[in-house]
Amino acid sequence: METAKVAIVGFGTIGSGVARLLLDHGERIARHAGKPLELVQIVDTDLSRPRDLKLPKGLLSDDLSKVVDNPEIEVVVQLIGGLEPARSIMLKLLESGKDVVTANKALLAEHGSELFDRARQLGRSIAFEAAVGGGIPIIAAISECLTANQVQEIHAILNGTSNFILTRMEEQGCNYAASVAEAQQRGYAEADPTMDVDGSDAAQKLAILAHLAFGARVDWRDIPRTGIDTAELPDMRYAKELGYSVKLLAVAKLAPEGLELHVSPTLVRHGTPLAEVRGAYNAIRVVGDAVGRVFFHGPGAGQMPTASAVVADLIDTAVGRMAITFRTLDLWSDDRQAPVAVRNPAKVPGRFYLRFNVDDRPGVMAEIAGILGRHRISIASLIQHETEEETDGVVPLVIMTHTAKEGAMSEAMKKIGELSCVHPGTIRMRVRE
Ligand code: HSE
């Protein structure tokens, strides 16, 4: 019987999950692929690291040429993190005639056009379902299942680590540092968790989704982003009091003025599906002009969910489906003009949650409200809890605004920050209804 010979390059947590699926569930995979997928080689520079599965003798090597020079290997799962040597190795694999499956969103966000152009020139494909949303099949959904639509909006929770941390803080009152450490220990976080908590990981994923859904050519660094690294427990409590949960939300929204793009901690109203996404789960709410609202929810990080997406790509590639999708999608092609322009972030409207640490004395509220008013920002509600008489202390003041332009909000915040009654530590978050 014909078999497809496959290899894994980069054998960490996800690689072990992929190997486990291929080795322990070969029969099921053969049934779904119409032919067996035979794992013939695994390559990693570290042969001594303890791994959580037993491999047949001789399968693991530190010699990449065993893959590159083996013409029988058709598809390679490349699970090397970071940019280099991941980029060079992917080019080498493509040039030696292999199709590639990857989970490396940073590599695609950074070098997508070079890698995809090279793959196209060579008649090869690159599959990347696992790069966004972990186990959620969002790449296939947008690039295949929803192609009858003009996607109009994407609102998404794309970083499992951040969502895990926010959930821990909100539900258990855990502190930030302990929650980050636990996310790392569970294998959700990137090697450098800064990318998770400062919004970079979500921005890279949003750049990929915006490219697929809107044809946007955007460098992820140009996406305005704020992370959860300034998240504090009092904001979780105020959000709850106001009827919201805090989520790191990635937004891509089409308007006549262009495509609105940003990643920011956002108050999401209780009772809406996005507010209910807990732990390391991800969710993506897509609005299409024909289908209406569709909602995807599932594990956004972790070994087996990510391996699930990788192996699905492996099957698609081995049976030839990926080659067709890859050809027709024409992804990251420099030959194609981007059909949408990115909207000026200063002009993007939104509602805001603001928390100031202010002197507890007469006139403070009037000073802040005056600046907001002069910037045409209307207050929707506010919280200042009662304090002891005559404390002369610093107290938190929370303001929810009506819709305002991002640019006006930034200017007002700058002016408010200059007031002598306002102390450091101001928090600004977006609000989504
Ligand atoms: N570190 C990522 C996250 C998982 O926490 O969502 C891989 O993309």
283-292 mean pLDDT: 98
Q: Which is more confident, 86 or 230?
A: 86
The residue whose CB lies within 8 Å of the most ligand 1 atoms, and thus the one to mutate among 201, 204, 228, 297, is: 201
The residue whose CB lies within 8 Å of the most ligand 1 atoms, and thus the one to mutate among 105, 159, 184, is: 159
Burial class (CB within 10 angstroms; exposed 0-12, middle 13-18, buried 19+) of 411: middle
Query: Atom of ligand 1 at shortest distance to CA of 302?
Result: 4
42-57 mean pLDDT: 90
Instruction: Find residue 231's DSSP bridge partners.
Output: none
Q: What is the pLDDT of residue 336?
A: 64
Instruction: Find residue 427's DSSP bridge partners.
Output: 355
Whether residue 292 sits in one domain with residue 164: yes
Where is average pLDDT lowest: 42-46, 183-187, 360-364?
183-187
Burial class (CB within 10 angstroms; exposed 0-12, middle 13-18, buried 19+) of 385: exposed
State whether residue 303 is helix, strand or coil: helix
Q: How far apart are CA 139 and CA 157, in angstroms?
A: 15
pLDDT in tens, 66-102: 999 999 999 999 999 999 999 999 999 999 999 999 9
- Is residue 57 flagged as an active site residue? no
Whether residue 284 sits in one domain with residue 233: yes
In a domain, 338, yes or no: no
Residue 188: band (very low, low, confident or very high) from pLDDT cuts 50, 70, 90: confident
176-196 mean pLDDT: 86
Q: How far is CA 359 from CA 58, 71, 415, 421, in A?
A: 69, 72, 16, 5
Tell me the CA–centroid distance for residue 201 and ligand 1, in Å. 7
Instruction: Find residue 156's DSSP bridge partners.
Output: 250, 284
Q: Among positive and negative, which fits the CA dihedral 358, 361, 365, 368?
A: negative
In a domain, 334, yes or no: no
In a domain, 270, yes or no: yes
Tell me the CA–centroid distance for residue 71 and ligand 1, in Å. 33
Which structural domain, as residue segments, surrounds residue 62?
4-134+305-329
Q: What is the pLDDT of residue 389?
A: 60
Q: What is the DSSP string of 182-222?
A: HHHHTT-S-SSTHHHHTSHHHHHHHHHHHHHHH-----GGG
Q: Which is more confident, 211 or 337?
A: 211
In a domain, 144, yes or no: no
Q: What is the pLDDT of residue 28?
A: 97
CATH number where 401 lies: 3.30.70.260
In a domain, 67, yes or no: yes
236-249 mean pLDDT: 96
Q: How far is CA 174 from CA 91, 169, 249, 256, in A?
A: 44, 5, 21, 43
pLDDT of residue 392 exceeding 80, the answer is no
pLDDT in tens, 97-131: 999 999 999 999 899 989 999 999 999 999 999 99
Q: What is the pLDDT of residue 333?
A: 74
Residue 170: band (very low, low, confident or very high) from pLDDT cuts 50, 70, 90: very high
Tell me the CA–centroid distance for residue 136 and ligand 1, in Å. 12
Q: Which of 164, 160, 105 is nearest to 130 (CA)?
A: 105
360-369 mean pLDDT: 94
pTM of the model: 0.94
Whether residue 350 sits in one domain with residue 289: no
Query: Atom of ligand 1 at shortest distance to CA of 161?
Result: 5
Whether residue 26 sits in one domain with residue 127: yes
Tell me the CA–centroid distance for residue 160 and ligand 1, in Å. 5
Q: Please give the DSSP secondary-structure letter assigned to residue 368.
A: H
Which protein residue's CA is at the shortest distance from atom 4 of ligand 1?
301
The residue whose CB lies within 8 Å of the most ligand 1 atoms, and thus the one to mutate among 188, 192, 194, 229, is: 188
Q: How far apart are CA 64 and CA 61, in angstroms?
A: 8
Please confirm whether the linkage preceding 256 is cis (ω < 30° from 0): no
CB 15 within 8 A of CB 79: yes
Tell me the CA–centroid distance for residue 309 and ligand 1, in Å. 13
Q: What is the pLDDT of residue 335?
A: 64
Largest CA distance in the chain: 85
Whether residue 158 sits in one domain with residue 288: yes
Query: Atom of ligand 1 at shortest distance to CA of 202?
Result: 6
In a domain, 336, yes or no: no
Q: What is the DSSP string of 64-128?
A: THHHHT-TTEEEEEE---SSTTHHHHHHHHHHTT-EEEE--HHHHHHHHHHHHHHHHHHT--EE-
Whether residue 251 sits in one domain with residue 207: yes
Q: What is the pLDDT of residue 84?
A: 97
Number of domains in the chain: 3
Whether residue 64 sits in one domain with residue 17: yes
Whether residue 89 sits in one domain with residue 119: yes
Tell me the CA–centroid distance for residue 188 and ligand 1, in Å. 6
Burial class (CB within 10 angstroms; exposed 0-12, middle 13-18, buried 19+) of 218: buried
Which protein residue's CA is at the shortest distance from atom 1 of ligand 1?
189
Q: How far apart are CA 103 and CA 318, in angstroms?
A: 17
In a domain, 22, yes or no: yes
Query: Atom of ligand 1 at shortest distance to CA of 195?
Result: 1
Q: How far is CA 48 from CA 12, 45, 51, 65, 132, in A?
A: 12, 9, 9, 20, 30
Whether residue 166 sits in one domain with residue 111: no
> Average pLDDT over the chain, rounded to whole?
94
CATH number where 85 lies: 3.40.50.720
CB-based pocket (< 6 A), ligand 1? 159-161, 188-190, 196, 201, 300-301
CATH number where 270 lies: 3.30.360.10
Q: What is the pLDDT of residue 340?
A: 85
pLDDT in tens, 247-274: 999 999 999 999 999 999 999 999 999 9
Residue 385: band (very low, low, confident or very high) from pLDDT cuts 50, 70, 90: confident
pLDDT of residue 50 exceeding 90, the answer is no
Q: Which of 205, 247, 253, 405 does the annotation list as catalytic?
A: 205
In a domain, 143, yes or no: no
Query: Atom of ligand 1 at shortest distance to CA of 132?
Result: 8
pLDDT in tens, 315-355: 999 999 999 988 887 777 766 667 888 999 999 999 999 99
Q: What is the pLDDT of residue 339?
A: 80
Residue 189: band (very low, low, confident or very high) from pLDDT cuts 50, 70, 90: confident
Q: What is the pLDDT of residue 187?
A: 81
